Amino acid sequence: MIKSRVLPKGLHTRFDYSSRSKRSHPFFAGKIFPQPIDIERDPEGIIKRIDRVFYDLEIYNASDLIPHETVLFQHGLIENEYRMQTELEPCRKYAWSVRARFNDGPYMRATEWAGNYYYPRSARNRYLRSSEKKIKQRRAANTFLSLE
């Protein structure tokens, strides 16, 4: 029987994802887990025992910056990148969240969910022009995630 546990407190993995758009089919690509910093921050030596790594990606419709309706639910991705096959609607806000899961002996462990917002190109360009200062402030406050 495989048991599931979250990583111990104090171990905050750096799991960066960025989204790039070709029209309304976003492409998500991230750093491979684990990174050297993950190994340094692993007091129990869990990371060194990793057997297989999978990635989970969830995308939500996020009107008013509150994620609600699920648009995509992809679990168990082997690669650390994913291109959506379906097209996103323009001028809507989307939130995404991603995590890494891996085997540690009899346990299935997972990193914390990390996420960001995605704006399809037409809406994003208008938003960038009108609120560039706000976006720079948000990026400065949230340095471990990037949105291209």
According to the model, what pLDDT value does residue 76 have?
Answer: 92
**Three-state secondary structure call for residue 123:** helix
- Tell me the pTM: 0.61
According to the model, what pLDDT value does residue 45 have?
Answer: 83
Instruction: For residue range 92-132, list pLDDT tens digits in order.
Output: 777 788 888 888 888 888 888 877 655 555 444 444 444 45
Of all residues in the chain, the percent with pLDDT exceeding 70 is: 58
Instruction: For residue range 60-96, list pLDDT tens digits in order.
Output: 887 766 667 888 889 999 988 888 888 877 777 777 8
**Three-state secondary structure call for residue 122:** helix
35 CA to centre of own chain: 15
Of all residues in the chain, the percent with pLDDT exceeding 90 is: 3
Q: Do residues 28 and 57 touch, judged by C-beta distance below 8 A?
A: yes
Q: Do residues 63 and 111 touch, judged by C-beta distance below 8 A?
A: no
- Domains of the chain as residue ranges with CATH: 3-141 (2.60.40.10)
Instruction: For residue range 22-35, list pLDDT tens digits in order.
Output: 456 777 777 788 88
DSSP letters along 43-95, please?
TT--GGG---EEEEEEEEE-GGG---SEEEEEEEESSSEEE-SSPPPTT--EE
- Band (pLDDT 50/70/90 cuts) for residue 19 is very low
Classify strands 17-22 and 114-118 as parallel, antiparallel or unpaired: unpaired
According to the model, what pLDDT value does residue 135 have?
Answer: 52
